[in-house]
């Protein structure tokens, strides 16, 4: 897809972070932009930001939607057609949440919440919108589906089990749609960022009451640490521009930098780890130990200009924060080292 002007875009999770960056970038490219999110106050603020970025207010449609609720999602799709005159030419599903803790500490609520938002909402959007898009645009005009996934889709997630599983499934879905949409003159893209300057560190604040039973240690302190980490991530506008360029060039996977070779090298390294899962345990563990040794070199003290050792930058726990990724300490089957 190369021509965006005058067309319709629907973006989930667009009240903040990566989704809001996408709304600004694709709106600036001349698209009418429908933004969906579960938080009305955040949607109102997002509309103000998008207008301030130079997009006409009449070209923005804000929709409060629980994306895991299929009836609400269908109603949102109907509203887009009613207001903008047709289904989106570009569907971008970016809404996501995450929580951190040992996978063996996970509860049903942890899986239902994270996979519900990160995977089920993507399935909902594809099944609701793609048939409408095919009927309206097949071999007549360009259309495209995209999903924001994660570099976590390519690696084991022992501390992010539900999230990594959901993102791996999302990637595979988009590979499948990329093949299936070819006869209709359309394409699919999956964006796989690393760290993003976004509000995902606050995700636990918005976890539904009926899914609050987590096996992980979650507190204001853990969220503060996550916010500090995410503040150091890629700017959402830059990430959206990288996605736009990837869509224009017909990429199926978009990595989070224009320096694609650097990220491709990381992807190859992750693929090598997966290949090593086929090895006998002693050989596999020896290779893993060697990798860990190489990785720790990056955080070893480096000689400064004055000849003294200076530590390399590394994320830490900010004042008032606390480490994240631990299990609740009342779970009696968890290794004590994985507890508080």
Enzyme catalytic residues = 163
User: Comparing C-alpha atoms, which of 104, 323, 106, 330 is closest to residue 226?
Assistant: 323
State the Rg of the chain over Cα.
21
Q: How far apart are the first and last CA of the chain?
A: 49
Core vs surface per residue 5-36: b (16+ CB within 10 A) or e: eebbbbbbbbbbbbbbbbbbbbbbbebbbbbb
What is the distance between the alpha carbons of residues 256 and 275, in angstroms, rounded to a whole number? 24
DSSP letter for each residue of 67-82: TT-HHHHHHHHHHHHH
User: Comparing C-alpha atoms, which of 176, 123, 112, 125 is closest to residue 14?
Assistant: 125
What is the distance between the alpha carbons of residues 216 and 184, in angstroms, rounded to a whole number? 45
């Amino acid at each position: 897809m190369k021509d965006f002007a005058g067309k319709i875009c629907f973006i989930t999770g667009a009240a903040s972070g990566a989704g809001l960056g996408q709304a600004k970038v694709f709106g600036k490219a001349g698209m009418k932009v429908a933004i969906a999110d579960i938080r009305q106050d955040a949607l109102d603020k997002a509309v103000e930001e998008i207008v301030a970025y130079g997009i006409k207010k009449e070209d923005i449609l804000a929709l409060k939607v629980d994306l895991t609720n299929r009836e609400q999602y269908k109603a949102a799709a109907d509203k887009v057609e009613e207001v903008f005159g047709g289904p989106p030419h570009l569907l971008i599903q970016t809404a996501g949440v995450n929580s951190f803790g040992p996978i063996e500490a996970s509860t049903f609520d942890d899986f239902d919440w994270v996979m519900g938002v990160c995977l089920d909402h993507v399935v909902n959007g594809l099944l609701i919108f793609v048939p409408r898009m095919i009927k309206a645009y097949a071999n007549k005009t360009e259309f495209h589906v995209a999903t924001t996934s994660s570099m976590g889709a390519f690696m084991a997630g022992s501390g992010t089990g539900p999230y990594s599983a959901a993102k791996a499934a999302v990637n595979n879905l988009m590979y499948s749609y990329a093949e299936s949409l070819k006869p209709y003159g359309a394409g699919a893209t999956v964006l796989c960022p690393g760290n993003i300057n976004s509000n995902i560190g606050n995700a636990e604040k918005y976890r539904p009451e009926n899914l609050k039973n987590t096996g992980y240690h979650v507190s204001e302190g853990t969220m503060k640490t996550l916010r500090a980490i995410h503040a150091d991530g890629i700017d959402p506008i830059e990430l959206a521009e990288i996605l736009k360029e990837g869509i224009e060039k017909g990429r199926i996977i978009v990595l989070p930098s224009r320096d694609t070779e650097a990220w491709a090298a990381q992807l190859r390294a992750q693929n090598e780890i997966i290949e090593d899962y086929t090895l006998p345990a002693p050989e596999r563990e020896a290779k893993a130990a060697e990798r860990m040794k190489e990785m720790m070199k990056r955080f070893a003290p480096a000689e400064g200009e004055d000849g003294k050792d200076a530590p390399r930058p590394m994320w830490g726990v900010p004042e008032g924060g606390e480490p994240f990724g631990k299990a609740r300490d009342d779970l009696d089957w968890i290794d004590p080292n994985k507890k508080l």
